[in-house]
Amino acid sequence: MSEQQAAGTLPMENKGAKREASFRLPYRFEIDPAGRDSPWWVTIVSIGLALIACGIFISLNGMKPIAVYSKMLNGAFGSSFGLTETLVKAIPLLLCGLGVSIAYRISVWNIGAEGQFLAGAMAATAITVYFPHLPMYVSIPAMVAASIVAGGFWGLLTAIPRNYFQVNELITSLMLNYVAMLALNYAVFGPWKDPKGFNFPGSPMFTAAQTLPTWGTSRLHLGIIFAVVALLIYAFMIRYTRWGYELRLIGANAEAARNAGIRISRHVLVVMMISGGLASLAGMGEVSGVAHRLMYGISPGYGYTAIIVAWLAKLNPLGLVVSSVLFGGLIVGGYSVQTIGLPSSTSSMIQGAILFFLIAGNMAGKFRIRSNR
């Protein structure tokens, strides 16, 4: 190639490069992994988008979304009966949500609240089966203690493999849910099956001494006191104690916490024990305060719904109260729409949609606009 040709190619290439550069966008989108949590209004928008999306499916089913949502709202909050039923559903959601939240504080993903709930229900029922004649002032504390111990042990089954064998807690906690479910089925179909229950898979009915007291003629039971006390302790410990500060530091920056001399493995063990104990206390309240027996399908998925409750509340104590009451109302409202021809699983569809849009909103909050100039 001659010098003239070589000299001619350089300007052409430069012109092409300049032409390509002229078409470059002035801004670009980047994901910031360390981005802060999305603002509060993102949660409101996510719930609104979830209701709109579910409304489309409801309208495709031949129903008016506004009428369906009004029916659910009136069924959950429009009467004293609906309000007390909503609070009854909110009790296990709040306790399980607390358990999930305290684990999330140190970035431990406890997906096993459902199994811990079932473990607590079975442990409480074991007291009634093997010690049936205890007075109330002995049987109720014994059931509470047994359920907390069982749930704490169930939490350790996730924490120990994570600490010492680097096993992902998502896998172990999720798989343990099915272990607890199969153990429950074995108990109610096998040795604990009520011989007078007309072949129904369930334990014998609890006696009055084994049943949590209720308010008036409603089903609102003493478990609400357990939930409120646990919530206040959680709020105080997280905010005003050194232990709570260490949890917040681990969740914010585990490497900095380790360099500061905090033993993260010990905190994981303790937190998972507490997390499991809270979820199992919810199971005790359900069998003793609502069902009055251990039976097949005792949980409609409280442990899984608690994950959405904790996510919606952003681990805030007051937010946990609001979100647990909201989802309790969704469950009760799901029963109400059966009278107009929709299945009760409508509430599950709304719950799933809320989780989907919450995750999408949080991810959108991590996007940053950067200049290319």
Class of residue 219 by CB neighbours under 10 A (exposed 0-12, middle 13-18, buried 19+)? middle
* pLDDT higher than threshold 70 for residue 37: no
Greater confidence, 46 or 179? 179
- Residues 101/278, Cβ–Cβ less than 8 Å: no
If pLDDT is split at 50, 70 and 90, which confidence band does 29 have?
A: low
If pLDDT is split at 50, 70 and 90, which confidence band does 361 have?
A: confident
For the stretch 288-334, pLDDT in tens is 999 999 999 999 899 999 999 998 998 899 999 999 999 999 999 99
**Residue 318: count of CB within 10 angstroms of its CB:** 10
* pLDDT higher than threshold 70 for residue 10: no
Rounded to two decimals, what is the model's pTM? 0.88
249, 250, 309 from 266: Cα distances, Å: 14, 12, 27
* pLDDT higher than threshold 90 for residue 268: yes
For the stretch 148-171, pLDDT in tens is 999 999 999 999 999 999 999 999
**pLDDT confidence of residue 340:** 86
**pLDDT confidence of residue 345:** 86
If pLDDT is split at 50, 70 and 90, which confidence band does 38 have?
A: low
Query: Which residue carries 């406890």 as its tokens?
Result: 110
Instruction: Taking residues 26-50, report their average pLDDT.
Output: 71
64-341 has which CATH code? 1.10.3470
- Residues 51/350, Cβ–Cβ less than 8 Å: yes
Distance between CA 291 and CA 299 in Å, rounded?
A: 10
- The fraction of the chain above a pLDDT of 90, given in percent, is 72
Domain ranges of the chain: 36-54+344-365, 64-341
